Amino acid sequence: MLRLKKRNFILVTSLVVILILTLCSCGNKTESSDSGSGTSDVLLVGVDDSYPPMEFKDSDGKTTIGFDVDVAKELGKRLGKSDVKFVSNDWTGIFSALEINKFDVIISSVSINDERQSKHSLTKPYIANKQVIVTKKSTTDIKSPDELKGKKVGVQAGTTSEDFCRDLIKQSKLGDNGLATYPLVTQPFMDLDAGRIDAVVVDIVVAKYYISNNKDKYNLSWESSSSEPMALCFKKKDTDLRDKANKILDDMQADGTMKKISEKWFGEDVTKNLQ
Amino acid sequence: MDLNKLMTYMPALLEGARNTIVLTVISVIFGAILGLFLALGRLSKNKLIDRICWFYIWLFRGTPLLMQLFFIYYALPNINPTLTLPGQWIPALLALALNSAAYLAEIIRAAIQSIDKGQMEAAKALGMSYGQAMGRVIVPQSYRRLIPPVGNELIALLKDSSLVAMIAMTELMKVTNQISTRESNAAIYLPAAVLYLAMTTIFTVVFEKLEKKYSVYE
Amino acid sequence: MMVKMEKVAKSFGSLEVLKNINFEVTKGEVVCIIGPSGSGKSTILRCLNHLERITSGSVYIEDELIDERVSGKDQLKISQKKVSEICSKLGMVFQRFNLFPHMTVLQNIIEAPITVKKVPKHEAIEYGLTLLRKVGLEDKKDEFPSRLSGGQQQRVAIARALAMRPKIMLFDEPTSALDPELVGEVLEVMKELANDGMTMIVVTHEMGFAKEVANRVLFMDKGEIMEEGTPQQIFSNPKNVRTKSFLQKVL
């Protein structure tokens, strides 16, 4: 027993040491660590990287890519940062995570609304977005939000798509039980496939990505006429940094950088004509 | 999803799986240490210590792990900014360890209580203090009885650790979600499930071996 | 005086298990306590080494007051260290052996001397082997207790108690849990111990052993010492009616 115990002790100790070493090594590699409100040399960017083509993973499943990612990298460069790192946060909680210093800025398809304006520091719009309705190819009776009555609609939770649907419910254009919300943006599409819902309300940029990936499956049934601008979202207190970013966004518009990034990801420039 | 695509995603999945294992094992080790003290506290003659430990177990077993995780990650910094835990690893490990400690405490307490009372009497009659009796006689005997339920707890924790994907930890579940959204295809959940099974199988086998090893004297 | 109890009473809640117990044991004496089950025999032993606390009365070991209580309240501050010291003077052998199942025979024996008395390990092993030889189990030193017969286990338990070099040995029905054919080997070891001059208090149902080995026999019933005397007096010429009826049943 005595000898047995000593061996176990050595075993457990070495196990713990190995684990802590691996932990340290991956701790360095992953994007985490506390940020000093943009004062450090690295710009930490919060993204919900399950939102193609705005922010998602490359074909290795590891590298973060997308429209917002390119914008963020350019922003970091022009702010004089040596590096830009991406922290992958679920959309649920992403705004709380910003305010508790998990990263410096959210560049993750943040649509501008009053609540976000009041709680955080938003820049001017950098891309125009709008809400659209996506249905299955076979669905023919949904051509506008007025035809959603009695239908089931899916959205990602906490998005302006959800706000859009809540407004429809208020206007009695959508039944109280007509809305299903999901943590990930893919999930309403999966439920659409499974036939549990009839339509998905989603940002146009994402809708286009999914439709082009599944040409024979989905239809873009309706496109909102009012555009819904998106902004970079800084912490409430970081107004100086926000003002700097506004200046940089202007410069990026002026020198054609925005146009270039937009054409890379959307094949067209969706960054012009912003109010 | 074809095999070639799966193979290109494999390194990302494996990295996620490694993080899952590291999370689980470290949480269980710290959870077991805290759980042992909680168990001894519950067995203590000191009413106050007993109550405090009871309260801890009541709290952490009675609320969802996801809620504890969100509380530690999001709510603590709101209460006081100095309570902000850096990064994702530390809050994730803390939540999993604190939660598993509550379950392990009850497992350890049950194992200790299942040891024949005569053992404590014999140790005391030989002049051992309570601490010596616990450390040399009672706790070592509880190991074998602990192994099966601790194995269960470890496997449960390994699966529950997928919840930390919600606070930006890049473990297997998160990686799978990311790939699935990229591919707009849910088929990737199947190989991820196989990885989970592989991990739980490894733990099951290890614990069966341990149980055999500690059964030599029976 | 090795052991002395004065006006000792013990109750579990409203149940009185010991009433006004007075008795003494002198050095080298072998005292057997007999009586029906539930008469409080074992409780006497357990009160000596603090496995149970008396409700009132006084207990002396080697003329030193080690416990004094009045209706459950301590009259004497006694430290954990002191309790441990008393326990090392008293070796106890239990009905159900209570060997440590996760330790080998030798480890069982050397555990307490090393952890409690801080005896160097090699000395503890040396003395442990001497004791194992004495109880005739040297060849079993590396076995786990579960591999031994009940009789062998009890002999190891005796060796384990002796390893602390106690002044007094307490036996709590040491043969009651044994198959009849295994009783003899344990009694043999106890007899040897008595012949070596060890002070012993033995709670037993083995009347033959009491007759042969005891210097004095105590008969207990319902928490009281009903009669006390030499084996000759108790077994051949009991005075108390209850002693008579008990002996009629068991002999």
For residue A1, is pLDDT > 60? Answer: no
Q: Largest alpha-carbon pair distance within chain C?
A: 55
Q: Measured between beta carbons, which residues in chain B are less than 8 angstroms from residue A96?
A: 74, 78
DSSP state at residue B137: I
Give the residue among B132, B144, B160 at the shortest CA–CA distance from B23: B160
Q: In chain A, pLDDT over 70 holds for what percent of residues?
A: 85
For residue A275, is pLDDT > 80? Answer: no
- Given an 8 Å threshold on Cβ–Cβ distance, is A56 in contact with B9? no
pLDDT of the residue at A35: 42
Chain B residue at shortest CA distance from C96: B118
ipTM score:
0.91
In single-letter form, the type of residue at position C189 comes to: V
Residues 6+ apart with CB under 8 A from A103: A35, A44, A45, A46, A87, A89, A97
For residue A78, is pLDDT > 90? Answer: yes
Cα–Cα distance, A166 to A149 (Å, whole number): 13
DSSP state at residue B84: P
Task: Note whether C102 contacts A: Cβ–Cβ < 8 A.
Answer: yes
- Given an 8 Å threshold on Cβ–Cβ distance, is C84 in contact with B141? no
Q: In chain C, pLDDT over 70 holds for what percent of residues?
A: 100
Q: Measured between beta carbons, which residues in chain B are less than 8 angstroms from residue A156?
A: none
- Given an 8 Å threshold on Cβ–Cβ distance, is B181 in contact with A97? no
- DSSP states along A146-203: GG-TT--EEEETTSHHHHHHHHHHHTTSS-GGGEEEESSTHHHHHHHHHTS-SEEEEE
Query: What sign does the dihedral C137-C143-C144-C146 (CA atoms) show?
Result: negative
Shortest distance between the Cα of A4 and any Cα of chain C, in A, equals 11
Burial (0-12, 13-18, 19+ Cβ within 10 Å), A105:
buried
Confidence of residue B111 (pLDDT cuts 50, 70, 90): very high
Cα–Cα distance, A181 to A187 (Å, whole number): 9
Which domains, ranges and CATH numbers included, belong to chain A?
Answer: 42-128+230-266 (3.40.190.10), 131-223 (3.40.190.10)
- Residue C231's alpha-carbon distances to A159, C1, C111, C190, C216, in angstroms, are 95, 21, 37, 17, 6
- Given an 8 Å threshold on Cβ–Cβ distance, is B124 in contact with C51? yes
Task: Note whether A13 contacts B: Cβ–Cβ < 8 A.
Answer: no
Are residues B41 and B49 in contact, defined by beta-carbon separation less than 8 angstroms?
yes
pLDDT tens digits along A12-37: 666 555 555 555 444 444 433 444 44
Cα–Cα distance, C208 to C251 (Å, whole number): 9
Strand order in the sheet with C216-221: C90-93, C168-172, C199-203, C30-34, C216-221, C224-229
Give the residue among A149, A205, A142, A206 at the shortest CA–CA distance from A179: A149
The average pLDDT across C222-232 equals 94
Give the residue among A272, A248, A92 at the shortest CA–CA distance from A181: A92
The average pLDDT across B157-175 equals 87
Are residues C200 and C190 in contact, defined by beta-carbon separation less than 8 angstroms?
yes
Task: Note whether C107 contacts A: Cβ–Cβ < 8 A.
Answer: yes
Higher per-residue pLDDT: C149 or A273: C149
Q: Token pair of A64, please?
A: 């973060």
pLDDT of the residue at A4: 45
- Given an 8 Å threshold on Cβ–Cβ distance, is C87 in contact with B140? no
pLDDT of the residue at C142: 95
The average pLDDT across C12-20 equals 91
- DSSP states along chain A: -HHHHHHHHHHHHHHHHHHHHHHHHHHHHSS-S---TT-SSEEEEEE---BTTTBEE-TTSSSEESHHHHHHHHHHHHTT-SEEEEEE--STTHHHHHHTTS-SEEEEEEE--HHHHHHSEE-S--EEE-EEEEEETT--S-SSGGG-TT--EEEETTSHHHHHHHHHHHTTSS-GGGEEEESSTHHHHHHHHHTS-SEEEEEHHHHHHHHHHSTTTEEEEEE-SS-EEEEEEE-TT-HHHHHHHHHHHHHHHHTTHHHHHHHHHHSS--SSS--
Interface of A with B in 44-73 (CB under 8 A): 49-52, 56-57, 59-62
Task: Note whether A87 contacts B: Cβ–Cβ < 8 A.
Answer: yes
- DSSP states along B155-170: HHHHHHGGGGGGGT--
Annotated domain spans of chain B = 3-215
Which residue do the tokens 């060849």 mark? C139
Q: Measured between beta carbons, which residues in chain A are less than 8 angstroms from residue B137?
A: none
pLDDT of the residue at A26: 47
Higher per-residue pLDDT: A17 or C244: C244
Confidence of residue B6 (pLDDT cuts 50, 70, 90): confident
Q: Measured between beta carbons, which residues in chain A are less than 8 angstroms from residue C102?
A: 1
Q: Token pair of A151, please?
A: 């239908």
Are residues A129 and A227 in contact, defined by beta-carbon separation less than 8 angstroms?
yes
pLDDT tens digits along C30-49: 999 999 988 999 999 999 98
pLDDT of the residue at A30: 40
The average pLDDT across A151-178 equals 92
Task: Note whether A1 contacts C: Cβ–Cβ < 8 A.
Answer: yes
DSSP state at residue B217: T
Residues 6+ apart with CB under 8 A from B53: B38, B39, B41, B42, B44, B105
For residue A202, is pLDDT > 70? Answer: yes
Cα–Cα distance, B23 to A23 (Å, whole number): 9
pLDDT tens digits along B59-110: 999 999 999 998 998 888 888 888 888 888 899 999 999 999 999 999 999 9
For residue C224, is pLDDT > 70? Answer: yes
Chain A residue at shortest CA distance from C105: A1
Confidence of residue B115 (pLDDT cuts 50, 70, 90): very high
Shortest distance between the Cα of A1 and any Cα of chain C, in A, equals 6
Interface of A with B in 94-113 (CB under 8 A): 96-97, 99-102
Which fold does the domain B3-215 belong to in CATH?
MetI-like fold (1.10.3720)
- Given an 8 Å threshold on Cβ–Cβ distance, is A57 in contact with B25? no
Q: Measured between beta carbons, which residues in chain B are less than 8 angstroms from residue C174?
A: none
Q: Measured between beta carbons, which residues in chain A are less than 8 angstroms from residue B165?
A: 90
For residue C26, is pLDDT > 90? Answer: yes
Buried/exposed code over C14-26 (b: 16+ C-beta within 10 A; e: otherwise): eebbbeebebebe
A133 torsion bin: left (phi>0), alpha (psi -120 to 50), beta (else): beta
Interface test with A, best of B178, B189, B213 (most A CBs within 10 A): B178
Q: Cα angle at C10 between C8 and C14, to 5 degrees? A: 145
Task: Note whether C79 contacts B: Cβ–Cβ < 8 A.
Answer: no
pLDDT tens digits along B12-32: 999 999 999 999 999 999 999
The average pLDDT across C126-147 equals 95
Q: Measured between beta carbons, which residues in chain B are less than 8 angstroms from residue A87?
A: 88, 168
Task: Note whether B60 contacts A: Cβ–Cβ < 8 A.
Answer: no
Cα–Cα distance, A210 to A191 (Å, whole number): 14
